[in-house]
Amino acid sequence: MVLRDVPESWPVEDSTDLHRDAWVVAFRSDRIRRPGADGEEPFRRLVLEHPGAAVVLAIDAEDRVLCLRQYRHPAQYRLVELPAGVIDHPGEDPEQVARRELREEAALAARRWTHLLSTLSSPGYSAERIHYYLAEDLEPADRGDFVLEHEEADLEVFWAPFAHLVDAVLAGDVSDGPVVQAVLALQVRRDREAARG
């Protein structure tokens, strides 16, 4: 058996928008039918539509990670995060989104980019896919006309040694999912490279 996710789509009997406006996400109710189960009634699934996002693990020459501390109202926490942003336009390249977010949120650019992984955030109710990138060989960059507002206007930018961030993740002190995934993915990658010699 091949260990791989397989694309599949079950028939949708009907779909109703519960919330849709100009913001990033929309919320709908779908009634779906299980293939081959003609005698069963369709069942309801709530779907959060999300265009996807890119997250940047930016590391400097001293092995420090560029971190953000930002208030998140739904969680009622000020979280340690990484630069990140949504894919604004259908078909937009996730790496270009990552480059844009690093510039806008941290006024940095990177000469070297490595795709770490892509994950589905919570596929039980959303198709949001997050793409994770390692950014290295950092240099200052102009934010352009981007203006920090709302929660971003209050964000704190700081540098944390990568090893300390790994410890904080494993201790549960840093719990933002994208941070956890990016940090652990890079740690596994480094461990494998060290084992190979």
Residue 56 CB neighbour total at 10 angstroms: 31
Cα end-to-end distance, the chain, whole Å: 31
Q: CA-CA distance, 99 to 83, in Å (whole number)?
A: 10
Q: CA-CA distance, 9 to 11, in Å (whole number)?
A: 7
Give the max Cα distance, the chain.
63
Inter-residue contact 62 to 54 (CB < 8 Å)? no
SS3 label, residue 71: strand
Residues with catalytic roles: 152
